[in-house]
Structure 1
């Protein structure tokens, strides 16, 4: 007989009373409004030059959203390249992302946007059609501005951290994270984690911190070495030490082996992010299917549970219209059985 399960962040107890450890993930789809980006990070496998990536049409978005809803996809991750802050096309770009998120909401999906650093007004505009938002801090050491971020104006640490502050001021549930293996040191990791945590202590809005290991791809401008899985597990341990206990540590499961994934879970990671058919940021690394992930972690006593792109403690931050959509999804997930 199928037994219902009770979901929790740190563990669950089945109907038979057996304690299990839980890792979460979001059933997601990544939609890219445009790949064009004015930054030129040397490790990027995502960007295109201006004029080389037509903007995704709203008609195509509407068709995709309907198909995704039918497949049971919950989260629409709107992940965009960056139009330069002073470009005459900037306002149109933000409005285009707004319309995409609005279509997703109307289709019953829950949008989460990561479109690079935004102004406070731009964030407030997109807040109206997103249940959560995100931006990777990557690293706060300025030394990378002389190397991998030499031609990436929006990767200045103060710009990235300002985004976290603005999200806190606006009351936006937020995801951020570190990109590891760019040439930074472990001390740099600690400083970045401390900077994120200091902002979270003021506003309490950071849901997750992603620890993303640099994984070389075929399209990046300069070759680089992959971060070792031992180093990644060590970074997870540091995150657990320097971040507040209510911030969940996330690991991209397509960038680690099953053994490395288990090591990260044992070190304190508890989330595997949005599982989508394609990892747009790391297209050379295919996402595993949730069933395959569950099979990989189950022998060590772990269960894999779906979650929403907004964590429960932030539901009350949403306007009533979006809150009702989120609650409908929570009810739907609560009926999932094992």
Structure 2
């Protein structure tokens, strides 16, 4: 009997050793804003400036800045722009400006990911050539928000946002989308929005991540609002896990939750913390934590933080050949960490 007990203990110990680690990913990123000007007027926005009142990012200054980012280990350049209105005489120049920013990032050995609001198919095709992935938040598909927070935001119409996801799928663009939570929608609206994303992904297979972003009041928004509770965010993570395909990563912004809330979201199914850069341009009142502080926060619960690229490995074959080569170089460097 004693010998048999010893064998059972050894087997149990070996089982514990070979269990896979609990991994959480992030991207070491830097955000570039081509312009803050935006023709939408969302009541909760802490980002926008009035059209014509935001200078466009200087390309000459950027050309000097980008190599320094590369030396610091930054891999992702998040190109996050306010929207010049469709039909505006400056729209073509705006898109060309964004493309030039992406080209400069690639020349510096960095990987661009652009979120510039809804684009038409030709515009998306242009940016596909110089981005390893792209993104656009669905936010919510319920039309009732067009009567409240999106009353003066033409590009926030649900059909416009969902059509962007479809176009990305048709163009084979690895894509990030997400929900903004706490705008006045219901839990049933969350489920409907998640279901719409899942349906499009089932057809095209191109959604990498779904961000669950809790509304967090800032000093610049037009109307005051309540922050989404962490219990509600945890519930949203649970619903996302239930209604999204398992290959889609659920992402939460770590600067918008407490350490305890972060761990609870991970236990509920979140597996990614997004692009970490010094400033969260969308929520400038909430600084991003550093990778080191996040490692310290999640390690006691058995989680390991791992860097990733802004394009997931299964989508590498979708990329234009020049981008694929650069991504391969980055993948090799991550393997050696």
**1:65 and 2:66 matched:** yes
Q: Distance in 1 between matches of 2:64 and 2:48?
A: 24
Distance in 1 (CA, whole Å) between partners of 2:282 and 2:89 is: 26
Q: CA RMSD in A?
A: 0.7
1:247: how far off?
0.4
How far did 1:50 drift? 1.1
Q: Provide the TM-score with structure 1 as the length reference.
A: 0.94
Corresponding residue for residue 200 of structure 1:
201
Query: Could you say which structure has the larger radius of gyration?
Result: 2
Matching of residues 64-213 of structure 1 within 5 Å = 64-213=65-214
How far apart, CA to CA, are the structure 1 residues paired with 2:193 and 2:51? 31
Q: Deviations over 1:131-154 (max 9, x none)?
A: 000000000000000000000000
Kindly report structure 1 stretches of 4+ aligned residues shifted beyond 4 Å. Answer: none
3-state SS of paired residue (2:284): coil
Q: CA deviation at 1:17?
A: 4.6
* Structure 1 portions without partners, runs of 5+: 1-15
Deviations 1:13-58 (A, max 9, x none): xxx7564200000000000000000000000000000121000111
Structure 1 partner of 2:34: 33
CA distance in 2, matches of 1:64, 1:301: 37
Query: Do structure 1's residue 300 and structure 2's residue 301 form an aligned pair?
Result: yes
Between the aligned partners of 2:110 and 2:322, the Cα distance in structure 1 is: 13
Q: Deviations over 1:85-129 (max 9, x none)?
A: 010000000000000000000100000000000000000000000
1:7 counterpart residue number = none
Residue 327 of structure 2: aligned partner: 326
- Measure, in 2, the Cα distance between the counterparts of 1:287 and 1:18: 31
- What residue number does 1:311 align with? 312
CA distance in 1, matches of 2:19, 2:65: 40
Aligned to 1:253: 254
Whose helix proportion is higher, 1 or 2? 2
Q: How does 1:263-278 map to 2 (within 5 A)?
A: 263-278=264-279
Distance, in Å, in 2 between the alignment partners of 1:131 and 1:19 is: 29
- Count of residues in correspondence between the two structures: 321
Which residue pairs with 1:13 in the alignment?
none
- Name the residue aligned to 1:8: none
Q: Is 1:218–2:206 an aligned residue pair? A: no
Q: Which ranges in structure 2 are unaligned for 5 or more consecutive residues?
A: 1-16
CA distance in 1, matches of 2:119, 2:200: 17
Q: TM-score normalized by structure 2?
A: 0.94
Structure 1: distance between partners of 2:63 and 2:18 = 44
| Structure-2 separation of matches of 1:159 and 1:128 | 23
CA shift, 1:159, in A, is 0.2
| Matched position secondary structure for 2:267 | helix
- For residue 200 of structure 1, give the secondary structure of its aligned residue in structure 2: helix
Q: Could you tell me how far 1:61 is from its partner in structure 2?
A: 1.5
